[in-house]
Amino acid sequence: MSDQAATSAAPAPRPAEPPWAPPSGVRITAVRAILTAPAGTTLVVVRVDTSEPGLYGLGCATFTQRAAAVATVVDEYLAPQLIGRDPADITDIASTLHVSGYWRSGPVLNNALSGVDMALWDIKGKQAGLPVWQLLGGRCRTAVPVYTHAAGRDPQEVADEVQAFMEQGYQHVRCQVAVPGAGTYGAPAAAAAAGARPVLTPDAWDPAAYRRAVRELFAHLREQLGPEVELIHDVHERVHPTDAVRIAKDLEPYDLFYLEDPVAPEDLEWLRILRAGTVTPIAIGELFTNPAEYRPVVQERLCDFIRVHISAIGGITPAWRLATACELFGVRTAWHGPGDVSPIGHAANLALDLASPNFGIQEQHLFGPAAQEVFPGCPEIRDGHLWPSEAPGLGVDFDERLALKYPPRPAVPGQAWRPPRRADGAVQRP
Ligand code: MG
């Protein structure tokens, strides 16, 4: 019951203040969200300034489809609760802000919380003169293996691309292929089949054709590339769960590293059936927005890898706890790493990857020259690995003046993510 406001007529201590003495003399003086799009995708950066000259932190709050809503939560709702607080109390601040609206979770609030949370870890690292991965217990690997994306109009194009990546040192590659005569996720359109039937919906999603195309793709890849390269495929929750079971079973002979998002968050109970029917490893979770959603999946060992979009669950603090919980159940991490995670968010992924014994794999994104200029210190990728930086904090800076040169695209509702449609015109989940 949210009747607190009605009963607090007299001025009272700010509810966000903890009952203990602030641990340091430093105070938060400003909290702001900044939107920029140096690579075309709108990124949301949170900057937390402090009373110590030159000491500030940066966090990733990118929910590109609702960027302005996240910025409003940061500027209008979180900033007033943070100004005057000691940035050292990261856990208490995360707990306080999480319940400060009574209703909690969801991608808008969580991304706003993540921007603040990462910025506070960045500040703590800068205060200590240590990278964040040192604050998490230090590294447990030299560098972080990453996977990249191969896609083609037919299986041979995909095989050629994987081969080229292998020559650059990649050992893990996600593979997506066009579906003849239909649209698909993560691959270019195939040439229209000769004598194709007239269709009601151009580029419609055709689950049966997709299932055949994926089976043919992986048969071809193994034949062409041999057994060693680790192959990944993202179903992107597009099929009926029955088809997900069939795809996982069909792909068993081709020894995938994992099959990603075979079912939608609304269909998680199907994972039990899928698990009972196939040994193809499963990765899931980039759409989850509450760490509690992972509980049955991890506890019952219904997946092998968690695909968390770290900013969508609230930042480093909840992700670190979740990773530790997963370790107890033999579940590994595969943090989401697309282009709608800012370089600051990728640095947070890297810090967790370095420090987690149950790290599995990291999705990479290569930022172009404009993004690298706006975000100096962008994590370095070479030889199929992400390499740690010794810079204090998250190690990525933000040139706000330069960022103004890349304003976000006008927000056109529905343009950031258009749902696919089936042949009869009905909307298909993403
Ligand atoms: Mg995915």
Give, as residue ranges, everything with CB less than 5 Å from ion ligand 1: 234
At residue 315, the 3 state secondary structure works out as: coil
What pLDDT is stored for residue 191 in this prediction? 62
pLDDT tens digits for 76-86? 999 999 999 99
Low-confidence ranges of the chain (pLDDT < 70): 1-16, 190-199, 410-416
Any idea what the Cα angle at residue 250 is, between residues 361 and 276, rounded to 5°?
A: 75
CB 391 within 8 A of CB 364: no
Give residue 396 CA to ligand 1 midpoint distance, Å.
25
pLDDT given at position 193: 58
Q: Residue 379's CB: how many other CB atoms inside 10 A?
A: 27
CA-wise closest residue to 93 among 46, 35, 143, 39: 46
Distance CA 339, CA 367 (A): 8
Look at residue 290 in the predicted model and tell me its pLDDT.
Answer: 86
- The CA 207 to ligand 1 mean position distance, Å, reads 17
Amino acid 6: pLDDT: 47
Q: Which residues are catalytic?
A: 185, 236
Global pTM reads 0.93
- DSSP class of 302: -
**139: CA distance to ligand 1 center in Å?**
26
Q: Which pLDDT belongs to residue 312?
A: 97
Question: What three-state secondary structure class fits 297?
Answer: helix
At residue 90, the pLDDT reads 97
Mean pLDDT score of the chain: 92
3-state secondary structure of 165: helix
Q: How far is the CA of 416 from the centre of ligand 1 (A)?
A: 16
Do 308 and 283 contact (CB within 8 A), yes or no?
A: no
- In the reported structure, the alpha carbon of residue 338 is separated from the centroid of ligand 1 by a whole-number distance in angstroms of 9
Interacting residues of 402 by C-beta distance below 8 A, sequence separation 6+: 373, 374
pLDDT attached to residue 189: 74
Question: 91-133 pLDDT, tens per residue?
Answer: 999 999 999 999 999 999 999 999 999 999 999 999 999 999 9
* DSSP output for 50-103: ESSTT-EEEEE---GGGHHHHHHIIIIIIHHHHTTS-TT-HHHHHHHHHTTTSS
